[in-house]
């Protein structure tokens, strides 16, 4: 039985690590694809913001029902459906011919992403009861691996020529998202941990969370942290192409460097978070991310590499906050994770709309500037907002830490 337990544990590790790797790919192949999508479909920055906001809504929607779905049809079936849906979305993206069909395809992809996020977060929180910060950062390290590979692989695939036809962003999505079928194998071979507690207890704890100021501070802080991560993933390539006049390949390379730093930080800084505390760690990481993201906006092209180095601060924010949640809400971790991720989905919709429309509005009201200069000023304003949200994450986490210290929870 012990041997079976070890094998099952390894299979579950493969599901978690492999799932996060696929998650990293699905989230971050859009960086190189968005400029081509925007040009081909004649999308404004505001319309692009709407597309990303709809993605966030799909993510949010999936987060609201995934726990219920797992309870109804089982964790295995839910995970199989999740990975199959993600692969199917690649087919829909391939056949999308206008903005409406692209929105539908992307919506399906982010439904899959939301289901995957909740499923993996709950599984990891249950499986890693010791050294939680280290193990969650290690799990999210594989998200960083997928994120690092994604922009370079996507940019190369988009340039492939098959039968005298360029593969483009549609073919790239079809190929990359087909990788989602691979984790189905260890899912079918493994035995998932059973849920603890009754449905009544879970509903009650969820209700209590809505009245808990710490929970709402966590939601705000993590929403700001996620906005930095996803904002850079979505807009860095566009920024470098339009403001710094880089080539698509060079800009995609810097985005990959960002995710390489992002990935390494999760690998090496996880043990540090268990030692110095989760909230202090997040404060430090957020400040580093914010300062390094804002500095190149004002200092120009020569300091653009700092955009990538900012990944070292961005990387550990999400898994470390998840470790804080697991420690703060030991008796209701599933409900706490679901509550926070659902609320982040709402925040993501708002923040994606804000980024797109900040770019568009500042561009439109850049009086006295040429069209090209206006576009650059607008993009700088949008990216400034992305960097500033990291500082808001630090400020709100400081308030979390202050309240926890007041309650003698100094280790968190």
At 248 the pLDDT is: 82
281: pLDDT confidence band, cut at 50, 70 and 90? very high
Q: Could you read off the pLDDT of 375-411 as tens digits, one per residue? A: 889 999 999 999 999 999 999 999 999 998 887 765 5
What does the alpha-carbon distance between residue 37 and residue 99 come to, in Å, rounded to a whole number?
9
At 76 the pLDDT is: 84
Contact (Cβ atoms closer than 8 angstroms) between residue 412 and residue 279: yes
At 198 the pLDDT is: 45
At 300 the pLDDT is: 85
DSSP code at position 369: S
What does the alpha-carbon distance between residue 113 and residue 109 come to, in Å, rounded to a whole number?
6
At 196 the pLDDT is: 52
- pLDDT greater than 60 at residue 203: no
Q: Identify the structural domains of the chain with CATH numbers, from first to last.
A: 2-190+198-406 (1.20.1250.20)
131: pLDDT confidence band, cut at 50, 70 and 90? confident
CA 187 to chain centre: 22
Mean pLDDT value across the chain: 86
At 412 the pLDDT is: 64
Q: Which residues contact 200 (CB under 8 A, 6 or more apart)?
A: none
> What global pTM score does this model have?
0.74
Q: Which residues contact 46 (CB under 8 A, 6 or more apart)?
A: 356, 357, 359, 360
């Amino acid at each position: 039985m012990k041997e079976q337990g070890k094998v099952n544990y390894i299979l579950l590790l493969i599901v978690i690590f492999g799932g996060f790797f696929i998650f990293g790919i699905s989230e971050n192949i859009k960086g190189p694809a968005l400029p081509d999508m925007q040009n081909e479909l004649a999308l404004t920055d505001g319309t692009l913001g709407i597309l990303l906001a709809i993605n966030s809504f799909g993510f949010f929607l999936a987060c609201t029902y995934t726990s219920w779905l797992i309870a109804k049809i089982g964790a295995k079936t839910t995970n199989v459906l999740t990975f199959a849906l993600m692969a199917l979305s690649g087919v829909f993206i391939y056949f999308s011919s206008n903005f409406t069909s692209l929105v539908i395809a992307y919506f399906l992809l982010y439904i899959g992403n939301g289901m995957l996020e909740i499923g993996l977060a709950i599984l990891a929180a249950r499986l890693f009861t010791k050294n939680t910060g280290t193990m969650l950062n290690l799990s999210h390290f594989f998200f960083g691996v997928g994120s690092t590979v994604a922009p370079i692989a996507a940019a190369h695939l988009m340039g492939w020529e098959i039968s005298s036809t360029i593969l483009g962003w549609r073919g790239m999505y079809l190929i990359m998202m087909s990788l989602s079928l691979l984790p189905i194998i260890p899912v079918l071979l493994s035995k998932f941990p059973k849920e603890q507690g009754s449905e009544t207890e879970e509903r009650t704890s969820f209700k209590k969370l809505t009245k808990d100021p710490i929970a709402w501070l966590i939601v705000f802080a993590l929403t700001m942290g996620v906005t930095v991560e996803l904002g850079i993933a979505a807009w860095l390539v566009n920024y470098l192409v339009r403001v710094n006049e880089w080539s698509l390949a060079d800009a995609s390379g810097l985005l990959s460097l960002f995710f390489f730093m992002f990935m390494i930080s999760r690998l090496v800084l996880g043990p540090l978070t268990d030692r110095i505390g989760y909230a202090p760690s997040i404060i430090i990481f957020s400040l580093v991310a914010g300062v390094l993201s804002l500095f190149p906006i004002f200092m120009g092209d020569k300091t653009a590499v700092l955009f990538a180095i900012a990944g070292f601060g961005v990387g550990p924010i999400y898994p470390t906050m998840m470790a804080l949640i697991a420690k703060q809400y030991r008796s209701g971790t599933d409900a706490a994770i679901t509550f926070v991720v659902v609320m982040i989905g709402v925040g993501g919709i708002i923040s994606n709309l804000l980024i797109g429309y900040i770019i568009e509005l500042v561009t439109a009201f850049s009086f006295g500037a040429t069209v090209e200069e206006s576009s650059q000023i607008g993009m700088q304003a949008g990216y400034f907002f992305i960097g500033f949200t990291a500082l808001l994450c630090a400020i709100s986490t400081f308030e979390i830490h202050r309240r926890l210290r007041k309650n003698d929870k100094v280790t968190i």
